[in-house]
Amino acid sequence: MAATIKVTNPATGELIQEVKADTEEEIHLALRRGHESFRKWSKTNAHERSRLLKLWSKKIQEHKDDLAKIMTMESGKPLHESLGEVDYATSYIDWYAEEAKRLYGRTIPANTESKRIIVSRQPVGLVAAITPWNFPAAMMTRKAAPALAAGCTFVVKPAEDTPLTTMKLIELAHEAGIPADVIQCVNGYGSEVGKIFTESKYVRKITFTGSTPVGKLLIRDSASTVKHVSMELGGHAPVIVAHDADIDLAVEQTIASKFRNAGQTCICANRVLVHESIVEEFAEKLTKEVKKLKVGNGLEKGTQIGPVINEKGFNKIVSQVNDAISKGAEVLCGNKYNANREKGYFFVYPTVLKNVNENMKIMQEETFGPILPITTFQELEEAVNIANSTPYGLAAYFFTNDYRTGIYLHEHLDFGIIGWNDGSPSAAHAPFGGMKESGIGREGGVEGIEPYLETKYLSIGGI
Ligand code: ADP
E runs forming strands in 218-370 = 228-232, 237-241, 269-275, 330-333, 337-340, 345-348, 351-354
Binned at pLDDT 50, 70 and 90, residue 1 comes out as low
- Pick the residue whose CA is nearest to atom 24 on ligand 1: 191
**Which of these, 372, 177, 173, lies nearest to 260 by C-alpha position?**
372
> DSSP string of 48-117?
HHHHHHHHHHHHHHHTHHHHHHHHHHHH---HHHHHHHHHHHHHHHHHHHHHGGG---EEE--SSTT-EE
190 in contact with ligand 1, CB cutoff 6 A: yes
Pick the atom of ligand 1 nearest to 160's CA: 16
pLDDT of the residue at 432: 98
Asked if 241 and 273 touch (Cβ cutoff 8 Å), the reply is yes
Domains identified in the chain and CATH numbers: 2-232+437-457 (3.40.605.10), 235-418 (3.40.309.10)
160 in contact with ligand 1, CB cutoff 6 A: yes
- Alpha carbon of residue 146 to chain centroid: 15
Phi, psi of 164 (to 5 degrees): -70, -40
pLDDT at 177 over 70: yes
pLDDT of the residue at 54: 98
Choice from 211, 218, 232, 265 to test ligand 1 binding pocket (greatest atom count within 8 A of CB):
211
Taking CA atoms, 400 is separated from 27, 271, 330, 359, 403, in Å, by: 51, 17, 26, 27, 8
The string of pLDDT tens digits covering residues 368-382 is 999 999 999 999 999
pLDDT at 33 over 90: yes
The string of pLDDT tens digits covering residues 83-127 is 999 999 999 999 999 999 999 999 999 999 999 999 999 999 999
In this structure, the chain runs to a length of: 463
ipTM above 0.95 for this complex? yes
Query: Across the chain, what does the average pLDDT equal?
Result: 98
pLDDT of the residue at 172: 98
pLDDT at 56 over 90: yes
pLDDT of the residue at 146: 98
Residue 232 catalytic?
yes
**Separation between Cα atoms, residue 424 and residue 260, nearest integer Å:** 10
The string of pLDDT tens digits covering residues 319-356 is 999 999 999 999 999 999 999 999 999 999 999 999 99
pLDDT at 163 over 80: yes
- Amino acid found at 325: I
> Is the sign of the CA dihedral 229, 234, 238, 239 positive or negative?
positive
pTM above 0.95, yes or no: yes
315 in contact with ligand 1, CB cutoff 6 A: no
- Pick the residue whose CA is nearest to atom 25 on ligand 1: 194
